[in-house]
Amino acid sequence: MKTVVSGIRPTGQLHLGNYFGALKNFVKMQHDARCYFFIADYHSLTTHPDPEHLHGNVQNALAEYLAAGLDPEVATIYVQSDLPQTAELSLLLSMHAYIGELERTASFKEKVRKHPENVNAGLLCYPVLMASDILIHRADFVPVGKDQEQHLEMTRKFARRFNTIYGVDYFPESMPYNFGQELTKVPGLDGSGKMGKSEGNGIYLADTDEVIRKKVMKAVTDQGPTEPNQPMAEPIANIFTIMKIVSPEDTYRFFLDKYNACEIRYGDMKKQLAEDIIKVVTPIRDRIAEIKSRQGYLHEVVTAGAERARLSADETMRAVREIMGIKPF
């Protein structure tokens, strides 16, 4: 069975786009591979989160992913900092990571541009830490979005370099996980692009019914079609796409027919869409709240997860230390 590693940023802000996109695929993937999912709290420290909030963020992320269907009986789910072997591997791999290549990383350059007041070494070494998350379990595959492709390429480079320098064939070249089907892309409510691309265009799983209604009613529309079967402008097509994902087929058909007959009333359509989104979100939101209220359960999940993750991490660290010449007396 192939091994898959995936890191989750502890923002605790899943939106419908994540839910119907990557997450649906994660839930399926956990049955097809040996999966390690972890909350990347070390990584989040690069931007100095308030210590008062960090733990809550980790907890939110964990509860959201569990509520969405990640199963701790099937996959190994842990918190990154509960597996300090990752930090040790990161230190060792950093000895063969060159400052120049780290400085040229797109994500680093962007952070430097946006936050010139906070260019710390953790940020520079972000790709080394991420490579360590992946290589600590010698992962065959990593599900990555566009924004993480370069990091995964660097992971392969570090793995190859390690193998070459020490004349071993130890680390695999971790490849992007291919879901084998098109990722469902959920568009945003602000007229263009996908959900989550910009502020205020997304519906979050944590949003209340009222917030959901407000956001949907504010979605961008146009004057309406003036002749039958007129092609749709992007904002309208987006609303139909969201409706196709969350609403029953006949509801979607009903409004599509209205549009094609030039009888569409966007107000009615948005009201219906909001209620259908609420129907999808309510059970997940309830599950998130229920999971968060069971502190004992969360504790059990991450304790068991870290224990399982440690088995594979210890094995890797024993080998890496040996290969690099760090030997027990």
Interaction between residue 134 and ligand TRP (CB under 6 A) = yes
Among 5, 68, 246, 302, binds ligand TRP (CB under 6 A): 5
Q: How many CB atoms lie within 10 A of CB 268?
A: 12
Cα–Cα distance between 212 and 145 in angstroms, integer?
26
Instruction: Choose the binding region for ligand TRP from 1-9, 86-94, 232-240, 320-328 (rule: CB under 6 A).
Output: 1-9
Q: How many CB atoms lie within 10 A of CB 31?
A: 10
Q: Catalytic: 194?
A: yes
* Burial call 170-196: b when 16+ CB within 10 Å, e when fewer: ebbebeebebeeeeeebbbbbbeeebb
Q: Spot the catalytic one: 24, 194, 244, 271.
A: 194
Which one, 145 or 283, has the nearer CB to ligand TRP?
145
CB of 175 to ligand TRP, least distance (A): 12
Instruction: Choose the binding region for ligand TRP from 6-14, 98-106, 213-221, 315-323 (rule: CB under 6 A).
Output: 6-14
User: Among residue numbers 149 through 178, which ones bind ligand TRP (CB under 6 A)?
Assistant: 151
Backbone φ/ψ region at 262: left (φ over 0), alpha (ψ -120 to 50), beta: left
Cα–Cα distance between 220 and 209 in angstroms, integer?
19
Task: Using alpha carbons, select from 95, 96, 90 the residue that is nearest to residue 132.
Answer: 90
Among 57, 66, 76, 133, binds ligand TRP (CB under 6 A): 133
Q: Catalytic: 279?
A: no
Task: Using alpha carbons, select from 36, 33, 8 the residue that is nearest to residue 137.
Answer: 36
Angle between helices 266-293 and 209-217 (to 10 degrees): 150
Q: Catalytic: 28?
A: no
Q: Which residue's CB atom is positioned nearest to ligand TRP? A: 7
What does the per-residue mask of binding to ligand TRP show for 36-75, with x meaning CB under 6 A?
Answer: ----x--x--------------------------------
Q: Under a CB-based contact definition with an 8 Å cutoff, are residues 132 and 83 in contact? A: no
Q: Under a CB-based contact definition with an 8 Å cutoff, are residues 156 and 174 in contact? A: yes
Which one, 43 or 285, has the nearer CB to ligand TRP?
43
Instruction: Choose the binding region for ligand TRP from 2-10, 23-31, 234-242, 289-297 (rule: CB under 6 A).
Output: 2-10
- Cite the active site residues: 111, 194, 197
Q: Which residues bind ligand TRP (CB under 6 A)?
A: 5-7, 9, 40, 43, 130, 133-134, 142, 148, 151
